[in-house]
């Protein structure tokens, strides 16, 4: 939806929400072409920032490389969305990630241990077109490492659902 006319704020936020819903649906289904398809048609602009690693995966190929590494390490991962807030150009999600360590992660071979950790994701959009340009994620990697090494049980980790009384 490239256009010379900038989207109105309400239309932009609506597009952001629809894109994120589609993005997460594809992630849950492990339908990677669908996930990649939610990013900007200009694949050279797309990127994925993993803040705890201080790494940027550039262009659509970098985005795909990141997802493939995570799908190998935690092939059954699921995303539980707790909150979403949107302003024109940025959507913020608080989620819980759960899965099983079945492939190498952080130098640790598969242990079969369960993981569960909170994650904050920023989705960055082009304000003129409404295209998803980037995702930037924040999480505590030490929690993941302790869980995959069997030093911490996921149920002992911080879980937003406990606060919400679920």
Per-residue pLDDT reduced to its tens digit, 29-48? 999 999 999 999 888 999 99
Query: Hey, what are 47's tokens?
Result: 């990127």
| Number of domains making up the chain | 1
Is the pTM higher than 0.75? The answer reads: yes
| Nearest residue to 14 via CA among 99, 93, 125 | 125
pLDDT in tens, 60-101: 999 999 999 999 999 999 999 999 999 999 999 999 999 999
The answer to whether residue 27 sits within a structural domain is: yes
The answer to whether residue 4 sits within a structural domain is: no
The whole-angstrom separation of Cα 121 and Cα 80 is 12
The answer to whether residue 54 sits within a structural domain is: yes
The residue segments making up the domain with residue 112 are 9-163
CATH code of the domain in which 106 resides = 3.10.450.50
Which residue's entry shows tokens 């150009």?
89
pLDDT in tens, 92-143: 999 999 999 999 999 999 999 999 999 999 999 998 889 999 999 999 999 9
Q: How far does the chain reach from its first CA to its final CA, in angstroms?
A: 39
Are the C-beta atoms of residues 39 and 63 closer than 8 Å to each other? Answer: yes
């Amino acid at each position: 939806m490239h256009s010379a006319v900038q989207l109105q704020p309400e239309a932009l936020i609506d597009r952001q929400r629809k894109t994120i819903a589609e993005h997460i649906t594809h992630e849950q289904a492990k339908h990677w072409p669908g996930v990649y398809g939610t990013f900007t048609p200009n694949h050279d602009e797309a990127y994925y920032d993993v803040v705890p690693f201080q790494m940027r995966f550039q262009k659509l190929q970098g985005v795909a490389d990141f997802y493939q590494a995570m799908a190998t390490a935690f092939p059954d991962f699921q995303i539980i969305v707790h909150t979403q807030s949107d302003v024109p150009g940025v959507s913020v999600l608080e989620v819980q990630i759960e899965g099983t360590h079945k492939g190498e992660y952080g130098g640790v071979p598969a242990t079969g241990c369960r993981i569960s950790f909170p994650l904050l994701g920023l989705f960055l959009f082009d304000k003129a077109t409404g295209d998803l340009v980037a995702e930037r994620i924040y999480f505590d990697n030490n929690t993941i490492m302790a869980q995959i090494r069997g030093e911490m049980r996921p149920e002992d980790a911080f879980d937003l659902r406990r606060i919400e009384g679920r």
